C-alpha cells in the first residue's frame, strides 16, 4: 500500500488522510481539488465537505543522523518514514574555516575580540541547532496537514544523567516513570554500553542483527575492579561471556585494555538538546499534547511486536496505537539547498606518469606537509606529466537571489537552476540542470526571468527509496 495523501477542507481545516489515490487523481483532473504541498503530498478540496476526524498520533524517534517518523491511528498507519540528516557538516565547516583563516591572514593585524561576546541562554552551536530544528520541523510539517491529537518523541536511547547518578551512587533523578524501577536502571546502563559499541561483540564481532545475544561485561574484573562506569564496561555475546573465558586461559582475561570505543556524539547531542526539543514542542502544542519516552521502553515494545530494529519501526512501537495495517516505508535524505562557502579552491590536475591516470596537485605534492619542514616524504613532483587542468580559485563576489532548483525562463523556455558563478568582470552566470534547446548550459542572469522558487520543485528532502511493508 502506498503512503497516504493529506487532505484539507475548503476552509483549510485538516481532514483524515486518504489512500484512495485514484479518487485524488480524479479530483485534481476535474478541478475539484488543488495541490497545496508536495511533502507530504497534500491537496485542498474546492467544495464543502464533512470534517469528521479520528484520534491520530505522531511518534518520532529523535536522532542525530537518522530520524524515524510514524503517523498512525487505531486502524491505519499513514506515514512510515526515515529521514537522514546531513552527514557532511563537519567537512563543510572545516572548508569554511580553512578559507576564512586564509582570508584573515591576508588582512592587517586586528585586536582580538573573542572575549567581548556574550551568548544568549540556551545558545547552541549552529550544527546542533540545525539538527534540533530538523527534528522539530518534521513534527510541525505533519501536524500542519493531518488532524494529529497526540505527539510522542523518544529523546535518546538512554538517560545519561541517570547513568551518571548510578555510577556516583546518587539519588535517581525524577521526572520519568521508568527511572523509578531497578530493572530499568540496569537496562538503561546496558543500552548505553550497547549503543556505544554499535551492538557488536567486541571479542568475536558478532552482531545483534545476526542473532547474537549481547551481555554487559566488566572488562577489568581480573584486576579486581567491577566499576559501572562506561569506560569499564564492554559488549560481548553469550558465546564469549562464559565462565571458562573468565579464567586466566580464557579470552576475556586481560581483554579490553586496547579496545577503542566509538564516540557517543549522538548520545551527547540528545543529552544537550533533548529538553530544548521537548520544551519547544510544549510551547508550540501544549504539555497534554506531547509526551516523551526513552529507548529502553521502545525496545521492549518493539520486541513484543516482533519487529526488526529500524528507526521507522522504533517510531511505530512508540505511543498507544499499533495498527495491523502498515503503509509503505519511505526513506529520505536531506539535500543541501545552497553552497554558502564564499571561496573555493579547485586544485590543478596532472597525468600521473606511473599509472597514466589523472591525479591532483595535492596528491603529487613536493613531500612537505608544512612550509617550515624541509622534507616529510618523497617529492612526487617528478611524477607529474601533462597538466590537464590549471585549477582556479572561485570567489562569491555578489549575492544572487537564486538557489539550486529554482525555475527560470530563457526566451520562454523553462529551465531549472543548477548553480551560479561570478565572472571576473562581475557578471553573474546561471548554470542549468539540463542544456536549453539551443544547447546552452548557462546564461547571463540579465537574460533570465525567475518563474518559481525551489520550495515545490526542489524539495529539501530527497526520496531515496519506498518499500512496501506489512505487519503479519
pLDDT given for residue 152 in this prediction: 93
Range from 9-18, 132-141, 197-206 carrying the lowest mean pLDDT? 197-206
Cell 516482533, residue located: 306
Q: Which domain holds residue 166?
A: 54-100+123-197+262-337
CA distance 324 to 386: 65
Position 443 in a domain: no
Assign residue 192 the CATH number of its domain.
3.30.420
Give the tens place of pLDDT for each residue, 151-210: 999 876 555 555 556 555 555 444 443 334 333 444 567 777 887 788 889 888 888 888
Cell 504539555, residue located: 287
Same domain, 23 and 67: no
Position 410 in a domain: no
Same domain, 60 and 77: yes
Same domain, 357 and 282: no
pLDDT given for residue 97 in this prediction: 81
Q: Which has the higher per-residue pLDDT, 167 or 68?
A: 68
The number of folded domains in the chain is: 3
pLDDT given for residue 74 in this prediction: 93
CA distance 11 to 106: 59
End-to-end CA distance of the chain: 14
Same domain, 131 and 192: yes
Same domain, 129 and 90: yes
Same domain, 193 and 300: yes
Q: Which of 77-86, 117-126, 338-347 has the highest mean pLDDT?
A: 77-86
CA distance 134 to 76: 26
Q: Which of 73-82, 111-120, 188-197, 246-255 has the highest mean pLDDT?
A: 73-82
With beta carbons less than 8 A apart as the criterion, state whether 18 and 7 touch: yes
Q: How do strand 41-45 and strand 57-61 relate by DSSP bridges?
A: unpaired
Same domain, 165 and 25: no
Give the tens place of pLDDT for each residue, 220-260: 888 777 777 777 888 899 888 888 888 887 888 888 766 66
pLDDT given for residue 145 in this prediction: 94
What sign results for the dihedral spanned by CA atoms 144, 146, 149, 153? negative
Same domain, 13 and 62: no
Q: Which of 115-124, 136-145, 208-217, 367-376 has the highest mean pLDDT?
A: 136-145
Helix (H) or strand (E) holding 72: strand 66-72
Position 246 in a domain: no
Is pTM beyond 0.75 here? no
Position 418 in a domain: no
**Which of these three, 275, 306, 337, is where a domain ends?**
337
Instruction: List Cβ neighbours of 87 (8 Å cut-off, separation of 6 or more).
Output: 65
Q: Is 327 exposed, middle or buried (0-12, 13-18, 19+ CB in 10 A)?
A: buried
Same domain, 28 and 67: no
CA distance 45 to 18: 13
Closest CA to 221 of 209, 207, 199, 236: 236
Average pLDDT over residues 293-321: 90
What are the residue ranges of helices labelled H in 121-197? Answer: 126-143, 160-168, 182-196
Position 362 in a domain: yes
With beta carbons less than 8 A apart as the criterion, state whether 34 and 42 touch: no
Three cell numbers written together for 434: 539540463
Same domain, 269 and 368: no
pLDDT given for residue 68 in this prediction: 93
Same domain, 66 and 178: yes
Position 433 in a domain: no
Q: Which of 7-11, 161-165, 437-441 has the highest mean pLDDT?
A: 7-11
Does residue 183 come out as left (phi exceeding 0), alpha (psi in the -120 to 50 range) or beta?
alpha
Give the tens place of pLDDT for each residue, 29-67: 999 999 998 888 999 999 998 888 999 999 999 888 899
What is the pLDDT of the chain when averaged over all its residues?
A: 81
Position 278 in a domain: yes
Same domain, 277 and 367: no
Amino acid at each position: 500500500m502506498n503512503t497516504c495523501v493529506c487532505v484539507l477542507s475548503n476552509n483549510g481545516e485538516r481532514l483524515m488522510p486518504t489512500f484512495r489515490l485514484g479518487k485524488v487523481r480524479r479530483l485534481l483532473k476535474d478541478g475539484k481539488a488543488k495541490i497545496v504541498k508536495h511533502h507530504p503530498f497534500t491537496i485542498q478540496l474546492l467544495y464543502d465537505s464533512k470534517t469528521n476526524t479520528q484520534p491520530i498520533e505522531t511518534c518520532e524517534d529523535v536522532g542525530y543522523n537518522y530520524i524515524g517518523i510514524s503517523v498512525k491511528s487505531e486502524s491505519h498507519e499513514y506515514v512510515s518514514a526515515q529521514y537522514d540528516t546531513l552527514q557532511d557538516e563537519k567537512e563543510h565547516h572545516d572548508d569554511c574555516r580553512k578559507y576564512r583563516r586564509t582570508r584573515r591572514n591576508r588582512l592587517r593585524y586586528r585586536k582580538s575580540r573573542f572575549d567581548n561576546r556574550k551568548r544568549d541562554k540556551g545558545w547552541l552551536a549552529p550544527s546542533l541547532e540545525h539538527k534540533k530544528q530538523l527534528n522539530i520541523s518534521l513534527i510541525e510539517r505533519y501536524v500542519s496537514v493531518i488532524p494529529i491529537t497526540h505527539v510522542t518523541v523518544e529523546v535518546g536511547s538512554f538517560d545519561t544523567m541517570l547513568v551518571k547518578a548510578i555510577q556516583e551512587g546518587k539519588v535517581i533523578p525524577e521526572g520519568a516513570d521508568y527511572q523509578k524501577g531497578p530493572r530499568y536502571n540496569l537496562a538503561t546502563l546496558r543500552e548505553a554500553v550497547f549503543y556505544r559499541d554499535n551492538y557488536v561483540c567486541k571479542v568475536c564481532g558478532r552482531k545483534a542483527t545476526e542473532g547474537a545475544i549481547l551481555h554487559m561485561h566488566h572488562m577489568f574484573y581480573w584486576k579486581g575492579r567491577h566499576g559501572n562506569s562506561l569506560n569499564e564496561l564492554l559488549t560481548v555475546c553469550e558465546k564469549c561471556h562464559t565462565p571458562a573465558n573468565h579464567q586466566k586461559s580464557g579470552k576475556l582475561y586481560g581483554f579490553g585494555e586496547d579496545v577503542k570505543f566509538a564516540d557517543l556524539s549522538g548520545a551527547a547531542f540528545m543529552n544537550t538538546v533533548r529538553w530544548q526539543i521537548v520544551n519547544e514542542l510544549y510551547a508550540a502544542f501544549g504539555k497534554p499534547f506531547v509526551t516523551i519516552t526513552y529507548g529502553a521502553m521502545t525496545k521492549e515494545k518493539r520486541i513484543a511486536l516482533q519487529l526488526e530494529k529500524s528507526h521507522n519501526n522504533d517510531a511505530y512501537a512508540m505511543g498507544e496505537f499499533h495498527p495491523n495495517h502498515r503503509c509503505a516505508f519511505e526513506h529520505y535524505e536531506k539535500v543541501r539547498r545552497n553552497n554558502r562557502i564564499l571561496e573555493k579552491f579547485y586544485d590543478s590536475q596532472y597525468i600521473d606518469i606511473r599509472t597514466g591516470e589523472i591525479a591532483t596537485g595535492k596528491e603529487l605534492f613536493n613531500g612537505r606537509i608544512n612550509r617550515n619542514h624541509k622534507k616529510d616524504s618523497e617529492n612526487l613532483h617528478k611524477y607529474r606529466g601533462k597538466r590537464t587542468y590549471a585549477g582556479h580559485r572561485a570567489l562569491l563576489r555578489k549575492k544572487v537571489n537564486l538557489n539550486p532548483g529554482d525555475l527560470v525562463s530563457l526566451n520562454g523556455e523553462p529551465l531549472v537552476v543548477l548553480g551560479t558563478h561570478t565572472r571576473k568582470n562581475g557578471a553573474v552566470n546561471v548554470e542549468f540542470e539540463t542544456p536549453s534547446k539551443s544547447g546552452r548550459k548557462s546564461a547571463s542572469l540579465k537574460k533570465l526571468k525567475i518563474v518559481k522558487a525551489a520550495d515545490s520543485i526542489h524539495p529539501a528532502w530527497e526520496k531515496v527509496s519506498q518499500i512496501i511493508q506489512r505487519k503479519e
